[in-house]
Each structure stands twice: as C-alpha cells, then as structure tokens.
A = this chain, B = another copy of it.
Amino acid sequence: MNAAAGNTSRPDLAAMVVPLGRALMAAEQPVLDAHGLTMWAYAVLSHLDEAPLRTQAALAEAIHADKTRIIPVLDDLESRGLLTRRPDPQDRRVRLLSLTPEGRRLRDTVRAAVQEGEERLLGQVPPADREAFLRTLRTLYEASRGRPAR
C-alpha cells in the first residue's frame, strides 16, 4: 500500500516536520534578535504586509495566536513606529492596522536575511527535488490550514 514497496518503515511525517520546524525557527532567531523582533512580531509584520487586516482578532487567527497574546506585540510595534493602530471611523470598537513605511522596510530586510539562510539550507537539495519540495510543502500547508487538522 506504499509508493515504494518494502519501504514500510519511513519515519512519521510529523517526526521530521516538527523538528525541522524547530531548527528553522532556531536558525532565524539570531536574525530576529538582531532587529529586536520576537517571532510573533515578525509573524505580525509578515501577515500585515501581504494582506491588510481590519481587526486584531482576524490577525490573531491568521497567525494562529490568541487575541490576547498579540496585544503586547502590537503595543511594541506601534511604539516603535512600525505599524499604526487607529480606530475605524465606521465602528470605533475596531482598530485598523497598517504597516508604516519603516515597518515594511524592516519586514523586507528581515525576510531577505531569513530566506538567505533558508537558501543555504536548500542548497544541499538538487534543483528538481527542490522545486517539487517547495510546491508540495505549499500544498500541504494550504491543506492543513483549510481543515484545522482534525
């Protein structure tokens, strides 16, 4: 019932993906530290850049964080002039979030450095495999978001 016969004993997917994720996070930590960003702060910057969100709750959900968890993060980023948080005139309960130019710039800088490190790791992989890997990773990632893994 396996793609490759005889290969009944591959490691669990999770047993490889989770540690790899930990390693990737650890690898990008020094980059984040250098710019005074926590992982959550970087996640916020990344997500705000690609899709401006209306509510903090939506942002929290997008990055799989509790809504109470990102508040100190937003406080910090706002005080550093990296994003703005203004009441929506239409519904003053809601905070409109948007990246400042400096916020976008920082995000680009950090992302470039992060991906440079990742490229180094991917360098060990043959180009053909590499493309298939990235494509599949994306597919599985999207799939895992579609259904919250049940």
Contact = CB atoms under 8 A, between A and B. Distances in A.
Contacts of A121: 13, 140, 143-144
A20 B137 contact: yes
Nearest to A137: B16
A4 B131 contact: yes
A132 B10 CA distance: 14
Interface in A4-33: 4, 10-28
Interface in A113-127: 114-115, 118-119, 121-122, 124-125, 127
A50 B27 CA distance: 28
Contacts of A36: none
A149 B23 contact: yes
Q: How many copies does the complex hold?
A: 2
A125 B139 contact: yes
A61 interface: no
A149 B17 contact: no
A92 interface: no
Given A118-B13, A129-B132, A132-B132, A21 B18 contact: yes
A14 B130 contact: no
Given A26-B148, A149-B24, A143 B114 contact: no
A22 B118 contact: no
Given A20-B140, A121-B144, 12 more contacts: A12-B46, A13-B118, A14-B28, A14-B114, A15-B43, A15-B46, A18-B25, A20-B144, A23-B148, A27-B150, A124-B140, A125-B139
